[in-house]
Chains A and B, each alone.
Chain A
Amino acid sequence: MLVLDRVGKTYPNGVHALDGISLTVSPGEILVVIGGSGSGKSTMLRAISGLDTPSQGRVVLDGMTIAAPHEQIGIIFQEPRLLPWLRVADNVGFGLEQCPTAERNARVSRALERVGLTDKSRVWPRELSGGQAQRVAILRALVPRPQVLLLDEPFSALDAFTRADLQDHLLDLWADSKPTLIVVTHDVEEAIVLADRIMVMRPHPGRVHEEITCDLPRPRDRQSAAFDFVKRRVLAALDRSLERAVITDDRETKAAAGGGLWW
């Protein structure tokens, strides 16, 4: 179980990015974090990953305080950040250096097969499309079988078609070993497709504004009334998080939802 105990972050320049977040995430849960700019989403994710140290509070995983990157916590960034000097298979196996070669190769091959990239195993990252590269980045983080996987706006640089494809791939891969997922996104539809729980954050300083449980059956139908209902709830919560007037007119709500991107 992952616990954030009053985690806060103030940067040396005085910016108070995160204000005492307390949160418990159950094993296997998919928590999606959504909020406006400056709401501390990425700061929180980096604190959980151990890449940044919180100024106040602590991150605890199964009773252990996380103060530095931990083998049970993987992270996927907005851009794939593949190592250009390693072929695709070596990128996927990057976190398995301690594994015997045969086991490493087997796990990498299985992973590439799961996302249909077996034929790309020997190519260089520069030869991949954006979607393929991000799939490889997801595999690189998942192959060491972390207990918690953090995703910082992982699909935001991709077109809508590829984004939907990768959301499905992510859920498929998640179903294999059911790690805890914490996904930061700006995309309301993405949040609803993925989440068990959606946490809406408010900015300056970042804190939890509202939590919305999302228990729609999977796979989730984006066209369904239930999906649309949750979407309206999330959009309303986002508006309230910025202390905006809540748009109640149904037509206006749909217009605001637009392509699913919420800024």
Chain B
Amino acid sequence: MSLVSMTASVEPAEVTPAPSNASVARGGPGRLLRPALGLLLPVAVAVAWELAVRQGLASGRLVPPPSVIVQTFADLARTGELELHASATLSRVIAGFAFGVVAGTVFGAITGYSALMNRLVDPTLQALRAIPSIAWVPLFILWFGIFEASKIILIAVGVFFPVYLGVMGAVMSVDRKIVEVGRAFRLSGIAMVRRILLPAVMPAYVISLRAGMGLGWMFVVAAEFMGASTGLGFLLIDGQQLGKPAQIVAAIVAFAILGKATDWLIVLLSAPFLRWEDRFART
């Protein structure tokens, strides 16, 4: 059989993939409508609750209506309290996140790269991971006092484990065929890490950083419950003790805004390193 007859029915192979429907829709009305759709439910609930309280169908004492929360939020912002507490919390999260990320990255890279170090270190770290991190609180207070150090360390512990697991898993699952390409081009040591390993682990690393940041925000609340005179966690406790639910909800909203903002920042800063990923073609 000749090659010509063999391939007569074969489509030309050099066809660039057609743009996906998603990318065609990009820039159209869908771009604005899709995020708006997600707002529909919470806005509807808020409006319904506001109307219910205004019509006298509910007292709104324990669950304040949106207008009262907004007012409380505005009052806290005007008096400078919001800035004081938010910045205290934010600085704790950033410090704890930084320590947790550095330690998680170093240990994750070492245990992912070296089988010996993995056998040596990973079982201990996995055992420590099994301890609910809040259980460390009394010990941390004894060791590091009631002030900033114990709070930052607790947050760092929370951030450490997702980053550690993410980095270890990412390093272990780097495609050996790609590493072999690096070897064929005589890369070793730093050059192999910089040109092959780092870009290869970057997607999983960013996900672990986002998970770490999420836990950082979770742990800062626990840390501030330990005893703090500033911070959004203090606002929560203060609101509970003084019976100010609007202040509690305002603090929760502040947590949500800051949590989302820091997550968005990680996504934004990491985007230039991940442009090659499929998801950037889809979204």
Contacts and interface: CB of A to CB of B under 8 A. Distances in A.
A248 B14 CA distance: 40
Contacts of B276: 84-87, 124-126
Interface in A85-112: 85-87, 94-95
B199 A85 contact: yes
Interface of chain A: mostly helix, strand, loop or mixed: loop
Contact of A160 (B10, B12, B15, B183): B10
Interface string B165-202: 00000000000011011011110000000001001101
A103 B10 CA distance: 39
A161 to B, nearest CB: 4
Nearest to A223: B2
B7 A159 contact: yes
Interface string B199-216: 110100000000000000
A218 to B, nearest CB: 16
Contacts of B183: 51, 69
Nearest to B1: A259
B37 interface: no
Interface residues of B, number: 30
Contacts, number: 81
A35 to B, nearest CB: 23
B142 interface: no
A92 B281 CA distance: 22
A122 B275 CA distance: 12
Contacts of A128: 16
Contact of A158 (B13, B185, B186, B202): B13
Contact of A126 (B6, B14, B177, B281): B281
B89 to A, nearest CB: 35
A160 B7 contact: yes
B194 to A, nearest CB: 10
Contact of A161 (B2, B10, B178, B281): B10
A130 interface: yes
A127 B7 CA distance: 24
Interface string A67-94: 0111100110101010111110000001
Given A126-B278, A159-B13, A85 B202 contact: yes
Given A83-B199, A129-B15, A160-B10, A77 B278 contact: no
Interface string B49-70: 0000000000000000000000
B32 to A, nearest CB: 27
Contact of A127 (B3, B17, B180, B185): B17
A83 B184 contact: no
Contacts of A77: 177, 180-181
A205 interface: no
A104 B75 CA distance: 61
A164 B276 CA distance: 30
B181 A81 contact: yes
Interface string A158-183: 11111011000000000000000000
Interface residues on A, range: 35 or more
A132 B10 CA distance: 16
B184 A259 contact: no
A128 B196 CA distance: 21
A57 interface: no
Contacts of B15: 129
Contacts of A159: 7, 10, 13
Contact of B196 (A74, A83, A130): A83
A69 B185 CA distance: 7
Contact of B14 (A85, A94, A125, A132): A132
A247 to B, nearest CB: 17
A165 B277 CA distance: 29
Nearest to B273: A85
A51 B196 contact: no
Given A159-B10, A259-B1, A51 B202 contact: no
Interface in B246-283: 273, 275-278, 281
Interface in B14-30: 14-17
Contacts of B178: 81, 83
A258 B1 contact: yes
Nearest to A70: B186
A94 B185 contact: yes
A131 B3 contact: no
A131 B16 CA distance: 11
B6 A160 contact: yes
Interface of B: 1-3, 6-7, 10, 12-17, 177-178, 180-181, 183-186, 196, 199-200, 202, 273, 275-278, 281
Given A85-B199, A124-B276, A126-B276, 11 more contacts: A69-B183, A69-B186, A71-B186, A75-B184, A77-B180, A84-B276, A85-B276, A125-B276, A126-B281, A159-B10, A189-B3
11 contacts: A77-B180, A84-B277, A85-B273, A85-B276, A86-B276, A129-B16, A131-B14, A161-B10, A164-B3, A223-B2, A259-B1
Q: What 4 A-B pairs have minimum CB-CB distances, sorted nearest first?
A: A85-B199, A161-B7, A162-B13, A85-B276
